[in-house]
Amino acid sequence: MTQTIVGVFNTFQDAELAQTRLEAEGIARADMSVHSNDADLSLTSGAATRDVATDRPVDETHEGAMGRVEHFFKSLFGDDDRPEEIGHYQEAVRRGSALLSVGVPDGTSTERVRDALYAAGAIDIDSRVAQWRNTGYTGYDRNAPAYTADEMAAERQAFPVVQESLEVGKREVQTGGVRVYSRMTETPVTESVNLREEHASIERRAVDRPATAADLKEGFVEVKETAEQPVVAKTARVVEEVVVGKESSNRTETITDTVRGTEVEVERTAAREGTAPAVPTTNKTL
């Protein structure tokens, strides 16, 4: 038994890209159809849409895109007991979205196709319906005209939510340094030294004794005088070393700053007679 899985995409181009992605994953293009409210872009691949009551091909050229979507769901569910969710899908097409339907002949691949649709950008129809209800939507009205390009753009108007982030890095800066010089210096010093001197001393003494032969001999005595003089010698010795190098240390600094951001608030306004209801300002996609 063939099952049909339908995914909703914001634009026809998104649905086409999803169709290409599913085809690359092994889904036959003949088993997929894209439906949009733009008659020039609406595509149906495979067999033509048929009226389930008469089992005859439906001539859709005069009915427009919404008529084609109507016949598509009629071929799936008939005219009676159509689930309410089907109206939501039709409303999505009316508002400018596109449907991608995938026929799955093998029930075991249903989950794989559903996951592939979400991975390709299919939106959450329940979240989208909740947004519509906030602006007065109560259900699909087949007599309501399709959205114009301006209405589509207004509904899909995006307000960016900006959040600054604080990134703290580090850079090396020169904070100073030292420069070491070595130069010759002269410092006056004073030292005391004891010097010894020897001098000859002459002493004459008066005597009165008889002279002997020894006294009559010639001779002489020499006495040398000496004196110590200071001798200066210099010896250089290394008494200290100045070692120049670098040492590192770590410290933790806490940075306090303010980051900016934007918040988007959605305010529901009451509809006025003769004007269209406000459209949601944000879209949620999956």
pLDDT tens-digit readout, 235-285: 888 888 888 888 888 888 888 888 888 887 767 666 555 443 433 333 333
CA atoms within 13 Å, Cβ hemisphere of 207: 7
Residue 236 CB burial class (10 angstroms; 0-12, 13-18, ≥19):
exposed
pLDDT confidence of residue 188? 92
Can you tell me the mean pLDDT for 59-67? Answer: 55
pLDDT confidence of residue 234? 87
Helices assigned H by DSSP within 95-210: 110-119, 125-133, 149-155
> How far, in Å, are 4, 32, 202 from residue 26 at the CA level?
16, 12, 141
Check residues 279 and 146 and name the one with the higher pLDDT: 146
3-state secondary structure of 113: helix
CA dist., res. 21 & res. 7, Å (int): 13
pLDDT confidence of residue 69? 77
Chain-centroid distance, C-alpha 280: 30
pTM of this structure: 0.47
Q: Yes or no: say if 86 and 69 are a contact pair by the CB < 8 Å rule.
A: no
Tell me the average pLDDT of the chain. 77
CA atoms within 13 Å, Cβ hemisphere of 187: 3
**Helix/strand/coil percentages in the chain, nearest 5:** 25, 10, 65
pLDDT confidence of residue 53? 34
